[in-house]
């Protein structure tokens, strides 16, 4: 067994929160180590954010060529798809980026330890935090350590950044072949002819768009009465219309009751969420479950450590105080990212890690506003939002204005053939504070940044109205929607 080393800070997990926190620790001069059981980059860089966007870009190119090629003046009579290359490009991109993370850790003098970490003690008057490292089992969903302890390391502080794993259906577990999660959906050896996707959140809809674009018959099952349930109702309705036009089928207010395996696939029984006597069956090659994620900390500690949990996540103070430290219930141990709860977003996780490390190092760090974390869905049309939905504003009894601008009237959108979508803005009365912004359409994930900055700076409608937006750009749609909150839209 290797000789024990002591660190100022150990970070467990090499995903967005873990590696970013480790880099920041190195920048601040802390002696730091990052322990990761699998590839650096976590789910985001290996099986999520980055490789999925590569797949979605492929789908968009193919879909545009097939759907609009003639309109653009291009002929694609013999267009073919090499599925191996479609998937392979995504995997190559993931590999390049994860190697880059290793370089950044080394550059910032952070030790990279490979293995499964188990915290055996927090910081006490008698000694520092202790972490044992074993070989990691090769199990994406239930990974723990195996064998003897290969290394024991200690630290003044430990940050848990182990992320989250896909949640299975209550009655049907993942098998990686017939019942899959986003991980397997990212790397299918053969394109399925038909697919049921359970869950219409960002992950479900991104894969629905991807597979449907290449000709897979896709049915999306959603328990609620609308798709993309966390989005504003107007955006959900517009998205459903757009995706139905593309050929995606929806079963809303429904759940999957059972799955019967058969040769070459399965028969999926879909029932009414409120009355399971109302049912229908769909024959498919594969079923993708995308109903959300759960915190990943199996084998990380045992009950004797006394680490407090809340709703299946590690409890910290991030929801309770204005300037959270991200401390857990155990002295010397902190936690950030998906493992502590929603929103389960890489950019939120990275920001938490930086704040946590800076405060550990004794620096002043500006806190996050958890009410102003942008969210994006990267299919076509894209969806992006920040702040309150109109539903939430009504529930809070707020007095507000609504501005909308439909992209059908937008010059840049018409020029590039992307007129599906709208921008919707909520502002408070009487001062015009921006309460929420919701976009569906071309470049929505880029456009939302303007609202992110505006809400962080507590800008008002008048601030955006008086900001000159370049012409012609998609960003002019933001200007028009905000003008509409004051009944001043010029091109509606």
Distance separating alpha carbons of residues 117 and 340, to the nearest angstrom: 18
Axis-axis angle for helices 16-27, 83-107 (nearest 10): 30
Tell me if 124 sits within 8 A of 45, measured CB to CB: no
Distance separating alpha carbons of residues 92 and 50, to the nearest angstrom: 11
Q: Give me the torsion for CA of 26, 31, 34, 35, rounded to 10°.
A: 180
DSSP 228-242: STTS-HHHHHHHHHH
- Taking CA atoms, 152 is separated from 7, 9, 134, in Å, by 12, 14, 9
Token pair recorded at residue 6: 């002591």
Count of beta carbons in the 10 Å neighbourhood of residue 128? 20
Helix H or strand E encompassing 451: helix 444-456
The residues annotated with a catalytic role in the active site are 471
User: Per this entry, what is the length of the chain?
Assistant: 492
Token pair recorded at residue 170: 């209550």
Which residues, other chains included, contact 303 with Cβ-Cβ below 8 Å and sequence gap of 6+?
A: none
DSSP 8-state symbol, 459: -
Distance separating alpha carbons of residues 415 and 121, to the nearest angstrom: 62
Tell me if 126 sits within 8 A of 331, measured CB to CB: no
Q: Could you tell me which of 490, 489, 491 has the C-alpha nearest to residue 410? A: 491
Distance separating alpha carbons of residues 36 and 4, to the nearest angstrom: 17
Q: Could you tell me which of 292, 282, 287, 179 has the C-alpha nearest to residue 230? A: 292
State the sign of the Cα–Cα–Cα–Cα dihedral 349, 351, 355, 358.
positive
Tell me if 427 sits within 8 A of 433, measured CB to CB: yes
Distance separating alpha carbons of residues 30 and 28, to the nearest angstrom: 6
Q: Where does residue 486 rank: exposed (0-12), middle (13-18), buried (19+ CB within 10 A)?
A: middle
- Residue entry with tokens 């969210």: 375
């Amino acid at each position: 067994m290797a000789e024990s080393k002591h660190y100022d800070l150990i970070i467990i997990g090499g995903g967005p929160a873990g590696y970013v926190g480790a880099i920041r620790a190195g920048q601040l001069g802390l002696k730091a180590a990052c322990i990761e059981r699998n590839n650096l980059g976590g789910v985001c860089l290996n099986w999520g954010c980055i490789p999925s966007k590569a797949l979605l870009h492929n789908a968009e190119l193919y879909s545009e060529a097939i759907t609009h090629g003639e309109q653009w003046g291009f002929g694609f009579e013999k267009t073919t798809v090499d599925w191996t290359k479609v998937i392979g490009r995504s995997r190559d991109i993931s590999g390049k980026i994860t190697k880059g993370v290793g370089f950044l850790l080394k550059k910032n003098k952070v030790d990279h330890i490979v293995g499964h970490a188990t915290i055996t003690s927090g910081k006490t008057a008698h000694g520092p935090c202790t972490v044992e490292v074993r070989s990691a089992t090769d199990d994406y969903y239930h990974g723990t350590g195996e064998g003897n302890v290969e290394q024991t390391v200690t630290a003044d502080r430990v940050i848990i950044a182990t992320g989250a794993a896909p949640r299975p259906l209550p009655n049907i577990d993942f098998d990686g072949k017939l019942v899959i999660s986003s991980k397997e959906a990212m790397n299918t050896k053969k394109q399925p002819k038909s697919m049921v996707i359970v869950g219409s959140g960002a992950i479900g809809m991104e894969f629905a768009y991807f597979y449907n674009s290449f000709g897979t018959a896709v049915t999306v099952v959603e328990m609620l009465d609308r798709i993309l349930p966390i989005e504003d109702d107007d955006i959900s309705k517009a998205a459903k219309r757009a995706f139905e036009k593309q050929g995606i089928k929806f079963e809303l207010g429904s759940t999957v009751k059972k799955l019967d395996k058969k040769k070459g696939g399965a028969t999926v029984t879909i029932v009414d969420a409120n009355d399971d006597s109302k049912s229908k069956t769909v024959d498919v090659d594969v079923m993708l479950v995308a109903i959300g994620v759960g915190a990943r900390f199996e084998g990380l500690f045992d009950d004797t450590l006394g680490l407090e949990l809340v709703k299946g996540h590690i409890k910290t103070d991030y929801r309770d105080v204005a300037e959270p430290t991200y401390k857990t219930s155990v002295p010397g141990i902190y936690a950030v990212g998906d493992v502590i709860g929603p929103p389960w977003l890489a950019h939120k996780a990275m920001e938490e890690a930086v704040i946590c490390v800076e405060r550990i190092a004794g620096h002043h760090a500006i806190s996050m506003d958890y009410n102003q974390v942008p969210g994006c869905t990267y299919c076509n049309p894209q969806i992006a939002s920040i702040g309150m939905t109109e539903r939430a504003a009504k529930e809070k009894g707020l007095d507000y204005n609504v501005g909308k601008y439909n992209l059908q009237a937008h010059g840049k959108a018409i020029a590039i053939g992307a007129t599906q979508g709208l921008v919707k803005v909520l502002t408070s009365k009487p001062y015009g504070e921006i309460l929420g912004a919701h976009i569906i359409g071309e470049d929505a994930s880029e456009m939302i940044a303007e609202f992110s900055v505006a809400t962080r700076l507590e800008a008002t409608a008048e601030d955006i109205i008086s900001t000159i937006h370049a012409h012609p750009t998609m960003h002019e749609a933001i200007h028009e929607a905000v003008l509409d909150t004051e009944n001043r839209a010029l091109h509606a």
